[in-house]
Every structure is written in C-alpha cells, then in structure tokens.
Structure 1
Amino acid sequence: MSRNAFILVLFLALPMAQPSSVSLSRLQCEKNSQYFRTLNVTYSNNTITADIYLEKGLKRGFRGHIDVQLRLTNAKKFQSLVQTDTDYCELLSSLKESLFRRWINSLAKNSNFMENCPVPPGPYYLKGYHVDMGLVPSYLLNGDYRLRALVYYGKYRTKSRIFLIECTVEASMQKN
C-alpha cells in the first residue's frame, strides 16, 4: 500500500476528538493481489503495526473514498458523518501546514511510507504507531466510530474501477 493511501486511511480511521480513552476494536483490510504481495495490518493495545509489500508501483491518479461513521451510545446502527472522495496525490501535493500534514509527520516517525507520488514498488512498514491525541480535534462525540476506506483507480461505483485496497477500522471513544 502506498504511504499516502495508508496515511489517509489511518488519519480518517481513528476517532477525531480529545478523548480520555480510545480503544480500537476492529481493523480489517483486503487487497488487490496484483498490486500488493503482502498487506498485514494489526493492532494490539491500541498500537498499530503494518507490514506491506507493494508489488506494482502506484502512479498518480489513485483515489480514495472515505466514509466516517458514528454509532452513539446505546444505538444499534452506525450513521455516516462524512464521506469524501479524493485524489491522494493531489491532496498531498497541495498540503502545507495542516492537520493532515501533522498526521503524516506523526506517522512518518514510525514508518518508511512515501510522502509523494508516484509510489515505487517495494517493502513498507509502520511499527509501534500510537495515535498522538494532541492531533485529534475536540468536537466529536462519545461513541463507536467506523471508518471505511477504499483506495482505487477510476471512478467510484463504476465497473471500470480498479480496486487496490479496502480497510475498515472500528474504535470506541469516551470523554470524561
């Protein structure tokens, strides 16, 4: 998986508030084997580790569709808070000092992910990553969060779309 794609997945997958506690409960990814030989993403004690081998380089134009959902306490279903679809390379090249750039810098401390495009084939890793709570905005509610992130080439929801990776992350957030 490219560094850009993985960073955006993690950035949007994690709860977005100044919580007193955040607990990851699910992290699952599926890959296109033509692009990824290895994609092992795990969590333990709220620490995320990833071992990735990108078989085929990612050229400019790969996109991501992100759906951030919230399930309030005692609710049964998740509700979509925000959905976005963006070109990752354009997004990264247009960023200067922003919250997203600070998340990228935070991830870069524990990884060898690329911060630009194109993304060459080869091994990538993320070791012992803990969310920096200082980078989490304070406006979100207590509850269970789910992030679904799809990385692809083409147009979203069309037959011509080329699937690269899809990850789902779930976490609970509680503020005092």
Structure 2
Amino acid sequence: MYIRKFKTYSVLFLSLWLVGCSNLDDSHVKIDEESELIFSATLTDNLGDFKAVNVSGDEMWHFDSNGYAYVSGYVENANKANEAWLISPEIDLTAVETARLTFDHVVRYFANPATEATVWVSENFVDDQSPAVAAWTQLVTEPFTDPGSWTFGTSGEISLTAFAGKKIRIGFKY
C-alpha cells in the first residue's frame, strides 16, 4: 500500500488478493511527479502492520507464501459463510487536503464479488476490537469482477478526500 504526499494525496495497496495471485514487485507503480508517497504496504512478505480480524466463520486473511494477502471461504470443497477483515494500520491524513487510494487485486469464484468483497474506511477503529464496534464508511469503488483467470486487476483511483484532515484505517471486507 502506498500513500504519497502531494497536491493530491495517494494511497496505493499492492499485492492484496481476495483469493490469490502471483507475486508482484513495486516497479509498475506510477505516481505523478507532483505527488509524495505518504503510506505504502506491499504485503509481499507478510501482513505487516495490517490486522486480520474475523467477525464470523473460521477463515481469515493470512499471508500466503506466494507473496500476497489471501482469504477464501472455499474449504474442503464447500463454501463457508465468513466475514473477515484486513485492516490497515492508522493512516495519518491530517496534513492533506485530498487523497487517493489505489490497490491491485484478484477476485475469483465469487457468486457476487461486488457485494462479497468491499472496501471501507473508519476514523475510530481501535486495535483489538471487533470491526462491528467501529463506524465504517463503504468506499465507492469499481465493482470487483472475476476476470476468469488469476490476472491482476487494479482498483483505479478511489477518492479519500472526504477523510482529508483525519486519521483513518482502511478495511478490506470479505
């Protein structure tokens, strides 16, 4: 994940996968010259400071040895009901006026990926609490779609400007 400080601020997540993918290096990340990266997390070696939190079900986000964060409710040839969150460390946007989020992902084998894989922001999530205790705002994203392969997709730029001047957490909900 990357956040760059500039006239418009960016947050980029890399190697975040909702089912699986191949390893990805940072060389393809393109940030315009007027920007300054203020947060990044590649998730290619481990989950870093991200928190994997289960609300229901047994499956949770974990680091996969192939180099990505991974969650799947498909276990032993059956779909399992699950609510699992991958929550970023606190991201300080107090000194910015605008911000953007970008991340790469792969989504496979969902009945409805647009509702089963979503991205949220919280201003009051506290470590070691359930996501249900915090207030969350769902981000408007392009709907996740299953490309029919393990090909990387990108979220495009998602505005975080509504959260400029605040400290936030980003949650990936499965």
Q: TM-score, normalised by structure 1?
A: 0.34
Bigger relative contact order, structure 1 or 2 (CA pairs below 8 A, ≥6 apart)? 1
Question: Higher strand share goes to which structure?
Answer: 1
Question: Higher helix share goes to which structure?
Answer: 1
